[in-house]
Amino acid sequence: MKVLVTGASGMLGRGVAQALLERGDDVTVLQRRPSTVDTRQVLGDVADAPVVARAVAGCEAVVHLAAKVDVVGPWTEYARANVDGTRVVVEAARGATVRRLVNVSSPSVAHAGRSLVGEGAGPADPERARGSYARSKALAERVALAADSPDLAVVSVRPHLVWGPGDTQLVGRIIERARTGRLPVIATGAALIDTTYVDNAVDALVAAVDADVHGEALVVSNGEPRPVGEVLRRLCEAAGVPAPTRHVPLRLALVAGAVVEGVWSVLDRRDTPPLTRFLAEQLATAHWFDQRRTRTALGWTPRVSLDEGFAALARHHAP
């Protein structure tokens, strides 16, 4: 099968492209900067229609991961990369030979700040989504799923908190903050959260290329909820940095997050802020999901447990 993977310079996109290559698919990757995947590469902006049309030509399937994943920056940047980019990918797929589109979304598109305990994939809700990233991804998911038809089967997969060796997003930021003593535990640290080891997320997205399911959203996770304090501690221990011991009440964290967001906005800073309201909510509220529909629909189960993932991360960081 000829497959286009957008966003293959990131950990997850790179893993998906490599997995498709290893099983014998003809893979093209599209991203703004070169990927380490040894295959045909198209460099450019996912919102640039001619670039995307060139990348998708002749493809039968598209796995769309390219996105602005951040907590800072103006709305226009999120809208262009995530909403406009998805719209351009959809239109290019419609105008080509593509029969399958796997849109990679986020559980945050249906998160309004309350705890999510054993829930399925609720509808994307841009009006209630928290922050520019979640709101833009909610709009993007609506664009993608609206394109589902007999000629173009669309499924939106929402991997939850993906991490693994080489991760510069979740793991990299946690390690850096822990190393400098800027990683607190919000509230008690007892809220249950689920995460996804990268190999499992890769397997799920590859399975979504083949699965006979479309027109719906599916949350992907390891299915092993753990207290957030334990997850932070295990990640820090694996990386060889001090685990957080300082606790900050949620109300204080929300106030501090709002202040930090205001300062970053006024100063137009692009570095990652130490705290935001969304981050405080994520660290203090439960969010884990019922995986039964996902596993049935994709014919997939995680092959790497969290404990095995922590061990792999420790080996990666070993001197």
Query: Mean of the pLDDT values across residues 4-17?
Result: 95
Strand, coil or helix: what is 187? Answer: coil
What confidence category does residue 286 fall into, taking pLDDT thresholds of 50, 70 and 90? confident
pLDDT digits (tens, 9 = 90+) for 26-85: 999 999 988 899 999 999 999 999 999 999 999 999 999 999 988 778 889 999 999 999
Give the active site residues: 133
Residue whose structure tokens are 């929300």: 254
DSSP string over 125-161:
-TTT--HHHHHHHHHHHHHHHHT--SSSEEEEEEE-S
What's the pLDDT tens digit per position in 287-305?
889 999 999 999 999 999 9
pLDDT value, residue 245: 87
256: pLDDT strictly greater than 70: yes
User: Which residue has better confidence, 21 or 175?
Assistant: 21
CB atoms within 10 A of CB 33: 7
Which of 28, 37, 38 has the alpha carbon at shortest distance from 3? Answer: 28
Per DSSP, the three-state class of 248 is strand
Is the pLDDT at 270 greater than 90? The verdict is no
Q: Which residues contact 54 (CB under 8 A, 6 or more apart)?
A: 42
**Helix H or strand E encompassing 165:** none
Lowest mean pLDDT among 73-77, 87-91, 146-150, 269-273: 269-273
Burial of 50 (0-12, 13-18, 19+ CB in 10 A): exposed
What is the share, in percent, of the chain residues with pLDDT greater than 70? 99
Task: Quickly list DSSP for 22-65.
Answer: HTT-EEEEEESS--SSSSEEEES-TT-HHHHHHHHTT-SEEEE-
Domains of the chain: 2-160+197-220+289-303 (3.40.50.720)
* Predicted local confidence at residue 113, as pLDDT: 65
